[in-house]
Amino acid sequence: MEQKRGFGNVETWVFDLDNTLYPHHLLWQQVNDRIRDYVATFLKVTHDEAFKVQKDYYLRYGTTMRGLMTEHGLDPDDYLAFVHKIDHSPLTPNPALGAAIEMLPGRKLILTNGTVAHADAVLKRLEIDHHFEDVFDIVAAELEPKPSKSAYDLFLKRHGVDPLKAAMFEDLARNLEVPHALGMTTVLIVPEGQREVFRESWEMEGPGEPHVDHVTDDLAGFLKGAIKS
């Protein structure tokens, strides 16, 4: 059995955003509804049909947007502006998480399939924005979402990250396959409240997979332990 990787040599801490730094059920319904509305209008279908398309493309392409781009020539700028125009006020400051992140030795970066604007709004509401060096978003990834290898390659190149000295925190196990193959220590986040979000069975998989080194439902507590390990 392969030994799980630790954090002793980690110099760069890479975090997904939604459902990793906060429980996504606090915002997801808004985003989910806006994606469905956009798909319905764009494809001129019913909301029920749009919902099926939304979930199908999310599974097959990594994001609904990438599916619409590939199969229907979507303008990504218009889509991104629409779906992330939400109310971030349900989020509240998380001083415990901020303190844990602050203690981590080295750089801290965000790698998200969302946008910089959405990430900035989330981080400011959580009051942890000052801990992060930069946000690498779907635009920086040239619109290729995780789990596409090109998204990670572009991220590593832009920020000069050595994957052998980095850790990746994610809520979807499939998004940890490439980071693990590249040599990163991987952590699967299973936050409280995730089952309140409409999630597919494949989204709930992963804790026992070989590309998942660690699993936690308490990110702040886990980070404190990681520092000591």
45 and 123 Cβ atoms separated by less than 8 Å: no
| Domain total in the chain | 2
- The pLDDT tens digits of the residues spanning 97-140 come to 999 999 999 999 999 999 999 999 999 999 999 999 999 999 99
Task: Confirm whether 49 is domain-assigned.
Answer: yes
Answer whether residue 15 shows pLDDT above 90: yes
Say whether both 38 and 139 belong to one domain.
Answer: no
Per residue in 41-100, pLDDT (tens digit) is 999 999 999 999 999 998 899 889 999 999 999 999 999 989 989 999 999 999 999 999
As given in the structure block, the two tokens for residue 127 are 């009051």
Residue 123 belongs to what domain range?
Answer: 12-24+91-228
Q: Output the pTM of the full model.
A: 0.88
Q: Quick check: 178 and 62 in contact, CB under 8 A?
A: no
Mean residue pLDDT of the chain comes to 90
Q: Are residues 59 and 125 in the same domain?
A: no
Residues 6+ apart with CB under 8 A from 48: none
In this structure, the answer to whether residues 157 and 52 fall within a common structural domain is no
